[in-house]
Chain A
Amino acid sequence: MITDESLTELKAYFKDIQISEEDQHHPLGNSGRVTIFPKTEQEILTVLAYANTNGHSVFIMGGGTKRGFGGMLEKADILLTLAQYTGIVEHNPGDMTITVKAGTSFQEIQTYLARYKQKIPLDPYNPKHATIGGIVSANDSGPKRLGYGSARDNVIGLRMVYPDGTLIRSGGKVVKNVAGYDMNKLFIGAMGTLGVVSQVTIKLRPIAKYESILFVSFPERNVEEIRAFAAKVLDSMIEPITLEILNPSLAGNLTNNNQYILLISFEDVKSSVHYQEDFIKKIIPDKTTLRSLSQNEAKSFWDHFYHQQPNGLINVTTTEAVLKIGVVNLDAIKILQEAELIADACHVSIEAHGGLGTGICYLTIRGATEDILSAIQHMRKSAVKHGGYAVVKHLPFSLRKEINVWGEKTAAHFLFEGIKQKIDTNIILNKNRYVGGI
């Protein structure tokens, strides 16, 4: 607990670091009694060492887009925000790798890399505000994961500040590395419960010379037909970057066409993209319609798509929830189908999309608070029935207390607890933000 006395001490201790003492109340929680803005890695080390020694709890924030993602405590003593810890540390175009500071926004990095015709092969939500540190910590991924993988496939090195203020490097700068345990994997998706991501080194890909999106719409809402078509696409030699199904609500919002729409996108040399488009045109089922966007139009569509998901920076006027559901690939279509039924039954609106080659679905649920909670429970049951899980990615703090953000513990939970205990012995970092109250 930070008292007035310790605040004075804190300020004296960190005379060069910006500290704000707004006692924030944020509807999404994950706030701090004081907010500290480190500008260097050394300052992050100092703050954590200080907090650890003095028993102060610390929450970590980047751009604030994931403020509604987990967390059962409204406030920590210190909110450590990395918003001022930004910039590119090292970029070797010939090595196709980049090292960046955690607080750098995703879009800023991509804009920089575009000059070299390169990109980070990730497609997180809200790229304008989401920081690379937050994306890695939450293992955020979008539909292009089918083609390029996720953070766990592309991050090759991390500099982590452990809760006691020790710097731990994991991985390195090379694209292939099996020296020691693959510690990167532990920190990716750990929601900041094991350390503060300070710097991220990540593999790059060339920006494809040409890209397009095909929108195949299914007017008859026959999910069996969609599934069969997707299976046919997956069994063919074409190499789509996304194979993402939108439910009618989301399709209506994004394309003014209130039907199930399958987004099949391609990124390759032009001849290859056209060849694949022609292939799809030949095999689409009767009664479906096809529309396509290419190059800048396709890019604009994606830009719009990634910014439609509610996030922690939006002023909360209506209650919104975002649910991430993972199932076996093609079962994503079943999840979307059940979302339709549950939306009706619970009197909520659900905008949903799911990757038919990844099994990862995102659902945005809007409605009255009780109805949203009920819809989340039903969707979780449905996910579990299909052998998967449901995680609440965004929800106001007051409602998070009513449900279990991460779902039931598994038999491996004691290992999670053991890992947390070893690394964050005093439990100062992002307490209760993660699975099973970790």
Chain B
Amino acid sequence: MSVLKIDTTDKHIINLAAIVGGPGSILYKTADLLAYDCDGFTIHKHLPKAVVFPKNTEEVSKLVKYCSDQGLPFLARGAGTGLSGGAIPVNGEVIISMVRMKKLISVDLENRRAVVEPGFVNLKLTNSISDRGYYYAPDPSSQYCCTIGGNVAENAGGAHCLKYGVTTNHILGLEVVLPNGEIIEIGRNGVLDEPGYDLLGILTGSEGTLGIVTKITVRLLKNPEGKQTVLAYFDKVEDGSQAVSDIISAGIVPAALEMMDKTAIEAVEAAAFPVGHPMDIEAVLLIEVDGIAAGIEEQINQILAVCKKSNVREVRAAMDEAERGRWWANRKTGFGAMGAISPDYLVQDGVIPRSKLPEVLKKIAQISEESGLRIANIFHAGDGNLHPLVLFDARKPGEIEKALEAGSLCLKACADVGGTITGEHGVGIEKREEMRFVFKDVEILAQTNIREVFNPNNLLNAGKLFPTPGRCVEIKKEINAK
């Protein structure tokens, strides 16, 4: 047995370690902290003061109370897969890691719900109940390792949220440690419409700035009886976009409707899960329909007809589950696949009204040309959620800045057509300034006012979500106070 002891005179480290039961549950040495200096958004890095690993709600509450009393900034972290920097300790926070709170507490299939701890991994939930024919719907690409607590913080989406909704539509109840250490329960027993303002709704997607979730009641769904996936290749991206619109307009609600452009296809075909997409097409669509088996064939035929009308080069349904699996593996590892064609990439997350797809894709192509950086597009076309991937080489001086600038311009293009700057990745630190593309100062103030109710000292995950320095907002607030 290794003999661990606290090797510092820092009283905060000693006290925090005491709360979580000793040196095995805290990291504080620089070498150990390096792994926590960023999350999935790797452009900005900052070292935390310490990382603590509580085992239960009481420990979280005590840690929070301690930090709050001592004026130490703190934040919660799950698997660290967030793509917007929501878990980066920009103020040298004490990181409260939720990874040891990873129990599946209960499953009630009759009432279609489960209770999990925040560190429980997304995909594990589905795996634990799939033999009974149930699943948990939100399926972010990182679902094999991301935690449900993190999903709640970010209101995570995924390819299948077109039909089934994002995380917020699947959260029935939460136990939350507030920034003063107090523990509250909302959506008790997972009962719908608990009287009072919808705190479940405001906490989900608040990027860890309003409280730390310590227990989650989620909704479970029954596996659809049938599922069919169609793959369609288009010579022109406009035709692919038109097909997307026409499928939706035809009254079909696909479970997923995904699109990749030429550059993205080049990457996924060069990476770990190639499926043999032709390299000379401009767009591939992946369309999945699920539901009652008896009704699926009719919808598939309609989809095939719509694609043919839109000058599709080739369109066909998956032959079997194995082929369907290969198509999805190819798509779901799309971001990582960029590594095969570029040393670095920056992923963006704009959303547009579906009908604006051709217009915005043209604009993104123009941004790519003007910046001199390649931009690949992988997106949830069905709900208008674009993921432009800006490819760059961080070793070349100035390219990071150029990539950030191009990413921001893509978001501006989305906002300009009535869209928004993030559909599922969150604002974090990455898109703080871009919040101004969609919100006026008074609207940002309306949001920071809500933060003040929960988090009055702003010690919990400060500096996220809202524009900095936000000077005009602060000034206005002062004026209002007077």
Contacts and interface: CB of A to CB of B under 8 A. Distances in A.
A237 B453 contact: no
Interface stretch (B88-96, B292-300, B320-328): B292-300
B70 interface: no
Interface in A195-214: 205-207, 209
B111 A178 contact: no
Given A174-B423, A182-B201, A422-B450, A328 B355 contact: no
A177 B294 contact: no
A391 B185 CA distance: 19
A153 B165 contact: yes
Contact of A176 (B185, B198, B380, B465): B380
Given A172-B419, A422-B452, A360 B193 contact: yes
A176 B112 contact: no
A95 B442 contact: no
Contact of B420 (A177, A326, A415): A177
B220 to A, nearest CB: 11
Contact of A94 (B190, B248, B442): B248
A389 B438 contact: no
B204 interface: yes
Which bucket holds chain B's interface residue count? 35 or more
Contacts of B195: 389, 391, 406-407, 435
A186 interface: yes
B251 A117 contact: yes
A271 B197 contact: no
B443 to A, nearest CB: 5
A189 interface: yes
Contact of A237 (B201, B223, B354, B447): B223
Contacts of B451: 181
Given A178-B426, A234-B112, A411 B184 contact: yes
A185 B168 CA distance: 10
Interface in A381-401: 387-389, 391
B155 A182 contact: yes
A175 interface: yes
A412 B252 CA distance: 41
Given A186-B197, A237-B222, A272 B155 contact: no
A238 B222 CA distance: 9
A162 interface: yes
A326 B222 contact: no
A390 to B, nearest CB: 9
B432 to A, nearest CB: 10
Contacts of B295: 268-269, 271-272, 275
A188 B196 CA distance: 10
Interface string B444-482: 101101111110000000000110000000000000000
Contacts of B452: 422
A166 interface: yes
A350 to B, nearest CB: 20
Contacts of B253: 205-206
Nearest to B385: A176
Contacts of A324: 193
Given A168-B443, A235-B109, A176 B438 contact: no
B110 A388 contact: no
Contacts of A173: 353, 418-419
A231 B384 contact: no
14 contacts: A94-B245, A94-B249, A141-B193, A168-B442, A174-B351, A176-B166, A177-B351, A181-B451, A182-B168, A188-B201, A237-B224, A239-B224, A359-B111, A419-B453
Interface of A: 92-97, 117, 139, 141, 149-150, 152-153, 162, 166-170, 172-186, 188-190, 194, 205-207, 209, 231, 234-239, 268-269, 271-272, 274-276, 324, 326-330, 357-360, 387-389, 391, 406-407, 410-413, 415-416, 418-419, 422-423, 435-436
> Which A-B residue pairs are the 5 nearest by beta carbons?
A185-B201, A272-B295, A206-B251, A237-B225, A418-B453
